Structure 1
Amino acid sequence: MEIRVLRYFLAIAREGSITNAANFLHVTQPTLSRQIRELEEELGQKLFVRKSHSMTLTNEGMLLRKRAEEIVSMVDKTEAEFSSMENIIGGDIYIGGGETDAIKLVADVVKELRNDYPDIHYHLYSGNAADVTERLDKGLLDFGILIQPADISKYDYINLPAKDVWGVIMRKDSPLAQKDSIHKEDLLNIPLICSRQAMSQERSKNEFAQWFGEYFEKLNVVTTFNLVYNAAIMVEAGVGYAVTIDKLTNTTESSSLCFRPLEPRIESGLNIIWKKYQIFSAPAELFLERLRERFA
């Protein structure tokens, strides 16, 4: 299985037809068709459902697409790392993390490093803790930013000097907006929009389950999310109340939304993590040095 053929496969999956993919790749349609047939024969699986003017992925094709994207991404990252060895002031750094206001601390380090090394480029990936650690373990990320609680026992890490405050985002015309803070009893019998990570954690490690106590199983969770931006749109539309952290959504005077903290207060610490015994590219090593100077 060649990387070139995987790129061909991904192009067809993205473009939806042999014709469009051939134009994008600047290869002939017969060449592209032959390569995909040979790939299907090699794998012993049909990868596409072929129609008169389009091609859609089979279940097997969707599995290969996920794996091919990871493989191609790893190859591109490896090539970039070796290329950067020729010149220490250039290269790529891959950072993943959940949505948090603490990214400002990392942004300050990036800005400082760019002043000295303007040819270093940064690639940000947004996801929950499971998404970030999976990509970190596969070598697709150099660093991850995790919001506590999270299992960081198998990683090296630096504690970031910041705390995320948990609360509820709601419309300003909602009854709860009249309160200064939100208690667990306030959240019973109302539609809630909650973080998928928070709802899926083990009960013993779940801050929300511990905060809600006996009320946790009685919550009316109508929607889950992993990006607060989308959750805020749901709130604005009147779908429910979003339980999330502060400063990720516009809740200023000009907004129709407001934020109220939970009481008793829940604050989450943050860590920037990387794999133990990680061999970094030169740019990533420089970035880690600056992180340690600033926060360690």
Structure 2
Amino acid sequence: MEIKSLRYFLAVAREENMTKAADMLHVTQPTLSKTLKSLEDELGKKLFTRHSFSISLTDEGMLLRDRAEDLIAMADRIEQEFITLDDITGGDIYFGLAESFQIRHLAKEIHKLKNRYPGFTYHITSGDTEQVTEKLDKGLLDFAVLCEKPNSAKYDYLKFPEADVWGAVMPADHPLAKKKSVRVKDLIGRPLFCSEQSWNNEIPQWAKDNFDKLHLEGSFRLSYNGSMFAKEGLGILLTFEHLIDCSKESGLVFRPLSPKQTSELYLIWNKYPSFTPIAEKFLTQIKTSFHKHST
């Protein structure tokens, strides 16, 4: 199976039209059709369903699309790494990031490295623990940032200098907005929004025996989306401080949880990484910086 064939396949999957995909790839339509037919013959599966004016993926096609995206990303990364292998002024680093106010520490380190090596380029993917560790395990990322302690058998890691503080985001006119902090009993019987990961981990640690009395109205991977539902009065969002605009003009307020609940943030990488020179430089730099914060 050739990488070129997979690139052609992904182009057609995105465009859902053979003519548009051929134009985008700068190949003739017969060449594109022949390549896709050969790919279907090689796999022994039908990948597309042809309609009058469009093309859609079969179940097998959707499976190949998911796998092909990772394969193409890896091929592109390998090619770029070899191009920049001897480039002492730059290179590429790939990060997978959780949503956290503490990401500012990482951004500061990236800025410092960018000043030292102007040719350095960074690539950011956002997601929860499951999403970013999957890409890290596949070799699509150099580093990932998690809001939970990583598996030390699989990953090496650094703890960020500060922890995130948990709280409740709600409309400014909500009855609980009058309180300085929010306790578990205040949330019982109220619709709550939270990430699925945190609802299964951090919130039970905080709520303890009262966790079963709390009601998850809906889960969001991104706190911003959850805040829009909270703003409409559909529920209270449980999230980290500073992630949501709670200025006077926003119409929202943040109230910390009581007792105080915090989450540590971790920069992780594979136990036996194949780092490029620029990734090695970054790791050395951030280890030094984080060590200074902790002493």
1:215 aligned onto 2:210: yes
* Structure 1: runs of 5 or more not aligned: none
Contact 1:189 1:219 in 2 (8 A): yes
Q: Distance in 1 between matches of 2:196 and 2:123?
A: 24
Number of the residue aligned with 1:41: 41
Q: Distance in 1 between matches of 2:80 and 2:232?
A: 44
Q: 3-state SS of the aligned residue for 2:274? A: coil
Number of the residue aligned with 2:130: 130
Q: Distance in 1 between matches of 2:115 and 2:103?
A: 18
Contact 1:129 1:150 in 2 (8 A): no
> For residues 83 and 16 of structure 1, do their structure 2 counterparts lie closer, same or farther at Cα, with a shift above 3 Å needed?
same
Equivalent residues in 2 for 1:49-198, closer than 5 Å? 49-198=49-198
2:248 counterpart (247, 253, 257): 253
Q: 3-state SS of the aligned residue for 1:247? A: coil
Q: Distance in 2 between matches of 1:103 and 1:176?
A: 29
| Alpha-carbon displacement from aligned partner over 1:237-257 (angstroms, at most 9, x marks no partner) | 222111111111111122111
Amino acid at match of 1:192: L
Q: Distance in 1 between matches of 2:97 and 2:264?
A: 13
Q: Give the CA deviation at 1:150.
A: 4.2
Number of the residue aligned with 1:287: 282
Identity across matched positions, percent: 47
Q: Distance in 2 between matches of 1:157 and 1:67?
A: 28
Given the two structures, how large is their TM-score scaled by the length of structure 1? Answer: 0.95
Contact 1:192 1:243 in 2 (8 A): yes
Number of the residue aligned with 1:271: 266
Displacement over 4 Å in runs of 4+? none
Q: Give the CA deviation at 1:106.
A: 0.8
Contact 2:94 2:122 in 1 (8 A): yes
Contact 2:150 2:157 in 1 (8 A): no
Amino acid at match of 1:294: S
Q: Distance in 2 between matches of 1:106 and 1:32?
A: 43
Given the two structures, how large is their TM-score scaled by the length of structure 2? Answer: 0.95
Contact 1:96 1:145 in 2 (8 A): yes
* Structure 2: runs of 5 or more not aligned: none
| Alpha-carbon displacement from aligned partner over 1:29-83 (angstroms, at most 9, x marks no partner) | 1111111111111111111121111111111111111100000001111111111
Contact 2:150 2:268 in 1 (8 A): no
- The worse-fitting range, judged by mean Cα deviation, of 38-47 and 160-169 is 38-47
| Alpha-carbon displacement from aligned partner over 1:164-209 (angstroms, at most 9, x marks no partner) | 001111111111111111111111111111111123x4xxxx2311
Q: 3-state SS of the aligned residue for 2:239? A: strand
Q: Number of aligned pairs? A: 291
Q: Distance in 2 between matches of 1:149 and 1:108?
A: 22
- The worse-fitting range, judged by mean Cα deviation, of 229-238 and 130-139 is 229-238
> For residues 56 and 237 of structure 1, do their structure 2 counterparts lie closer, same or farther at Cα, with a shift above 3 Å needed?
farther
**CA RMSD between the two structures:** 1.3
Q: Distance in 2 between matches of 1:218 and 1:230?
A: 24
Q: Give the CA deviation at 1:149.
A: 4.3
